[in-house]
């Protein structure tokens, strides 16, 4: 691409010298504008391609950040799962303690019933077992105190189990909320990923379109370069032919001026040379994008011709420059000579 862009300035310079005549092909300004437009479009496409690449890179960076956040959420979820497992273990231990306490209380109640039965029996044998009754009463009081203590412990344990259960339920609720948030984040990340993939596909399609457009521009530039080379060769050939015909015409006119009379053959030769010269100069004018041609009349000068065509006699150097392949000196023009009139 760079060699092609570096070759454009010399091509534009050659184009300025070899543009076709109006009506026979694109003008110099039109070709220059077309090439400038193509260069601007190419630069714009390259800029858009770079912008799309930057957008894809930014999207990828955001996707990596979201992936890191998702990994952190997964780690938090694993921590919460571990805490839930520990809470479940604690709840199971508390439940086992509650069962054991209830079993102990039931045993105490049975023991109390047995003590009451023994007290009834001892009443019938009060005199015989007073000391035994007293001991049993003391034992019963102790058992009651132990029973109350165990009931209090059971109540505290039940309260602790309820608090742990409530805490576990809260943990489960928070874990559910965290899981929902993680799922929502995952859905958003998937949506962002889909959008990034769509952007990448769009960028690839845009890149392919730009490549095709660049190939078309290169083909057009190659065609213009070939046309410029062909026109350059044609221009040099026609300028050489016009120069040779002008020399022949000058020789014929000079020979005729030396004779007092001219023959029909001389007049026919001058007319034929003049016609061929007009054809060659017309082709040169068309290839250089000139205004047209003019056949010099008796008494003409470059300044009078400039005054006639441009209403400004001081523009005669432009006519001399356009006919530099014929004119060595601005005063050396003669009738029947054919000049190119530039725009």
Domains of the chain plus CATH, in order, are 2-230 (1.10.287), 259-341 (3.10.350.10)
**pLDDT in the model for residue 222:** 55
Least confident of 8-17, 157-166, 207-216, 305-314: 8-17
Which backbone phi and psi does 295 adopt, to 5 degrees? -95, 125
Exposed/middle/buried for residue 134 (C-beta within 10 Å: 0-12, 13-18, 19+): exposed
pLDDT at 2 over 50: no
Query: Helix/strand/coil (H, E, C) string of 149-171?
Result: HHHHHHHHHHHHHHHHHHHHHHH
Mean pLDDT of the chain: 78
- Angle of helix 130-258 relative to helix 264-288, nearest 10 degrees? 170
Cα–Cα dist 175/181, whole Å? 10
**pLDDT in the model for residue 25:** 57
Cα–Cα dist 238/247, whole Å? 14
Summarize pLDDT for 249-303 with one digit per residue, the tens: 999 988 888 877 778 888 899 999 999 999 999 999 999 999 999 999 999 999 9
Cα–Cα dist 18/228, whole Å? 7
Cα–Cα dist 163/88, whole Å? 13
Cα–Cα dist 195/203, whole Å? 12
Cα–Cα dist 264/227, whole Å? 43
Which backbone phi and psi does 192 adopt, to 5 degrees? -65, -40
Overall average pLDDT of the 19-47 stretch? 76
Q: Are 192 and 66 in contact, with CB atoms under 8 Å apart?
A: yes
* DSSP β-bridge partners for residue 36: none
Give the residue, 215 or 335, on which the prediction is more confident. 335
Summarize pLDDT for 85-109 with one digit per residue, the tens: 784 785 477 458 546 838 764 876 8
pLDDT at 168 over 70: no
Cα–Cα dist 323/331, whole Å? 13
The long-range contacts involving 25-30, CB below 8 angstroms and separated by at least 24 positions, are: 27/289, 28/289
Cα–Cα dist 312/276, whole Å? 30
> Where does residue 299 fall: left (phi above 0), alpha (psi -120 to 50 degrees), or beta otherwise?
left
**pLDDT in the model for residue 232:** 60
∠ CA 31-34-38, rounded to 5°: 140
**Cα-based distances in Å from 118 to 58, 105, 110, 123, 321:** 89, 19, 12, 9, 149
Predicted TM-score of the model (pTM): 0.37
**pLDDT in the model for residue 3:** 47
Of the chain, the percentage scoring pLDDT greater than 70 comes to: 73
Give the residue, 43 or 7, on which the prediction is more confident. 43
Q: Are 301 and 331 in contact, with CB atoms under 8 Å apart?
A: yes
**pLDDT in the model for residue 27:** 77
């Amino acid at each position: 691409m760079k060699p092609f862009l570096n070759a454009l300035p010399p091509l534009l310079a050659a184009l300025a010298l070899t543009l076709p005549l109006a009506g026979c092909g694109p003008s110099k300004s039109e070709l220059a504008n077309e090439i400038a437009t193509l260069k601007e479009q190419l630069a714009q496409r390259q800029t858009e391609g770079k912008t799309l690449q930057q957008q894809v890179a930014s999207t990828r960076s955001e996707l990596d950040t979201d992936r890191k956040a998702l990994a952190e959420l997964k780690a938090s979820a694993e921590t919460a799962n571990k805490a839930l497992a520990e809470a479940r273990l604690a709840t199971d231990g508390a439940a086992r303690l509650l069962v054991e306490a209830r079993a102990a209380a039931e045993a105490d109640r049975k023991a109390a019933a047995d003590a009451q039965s023994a007290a009834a029996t001892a009443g019938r044998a009060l005199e015989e077992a007073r000391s035994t009754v007293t001991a049993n009463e003391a034992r019963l009081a102790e058992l009651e105190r132990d029973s109350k203590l165990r009931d209090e412990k059971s109540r505290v344990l039940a309260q602790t189990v309820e608090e742990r259960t409530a805490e576990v339920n809260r943990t489960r609720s928070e874990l559910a909320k965290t899981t929902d948030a993680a799922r929502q984040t995952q859905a958003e990340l998937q949506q962002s990923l889909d959008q990034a993939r769509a952007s990448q596909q769009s960028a690839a399609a845009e890149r392919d379109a730009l490549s095709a457009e660049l190939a078309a521009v290169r083909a057009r530039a190659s065609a213009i370069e070939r046309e410029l080379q062909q026109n350059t060769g044609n221009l040099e050939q026609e300028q050489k032919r016009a120069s040779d015909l002008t020399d022949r015409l000058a020789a014929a006119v000079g020979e005729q001026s030396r004779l007092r009379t001219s023959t029909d053959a001389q007049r026919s030769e001058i007319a034929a040379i003049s016609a061929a010269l007009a054809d060659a100069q017309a082709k040169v004018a068309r290839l250089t994008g000139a205004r047209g041609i003019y056949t010099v009349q008796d008494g003409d000068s470059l300044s009078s011709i400039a005054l006639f065509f441009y209403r400004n006699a001081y523009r005669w150097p432009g006519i001399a420059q356009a006919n530099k392949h014929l004119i060595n000196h601005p005063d050396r023009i003669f009738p029947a000579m054919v000049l190119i009139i530039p725009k």
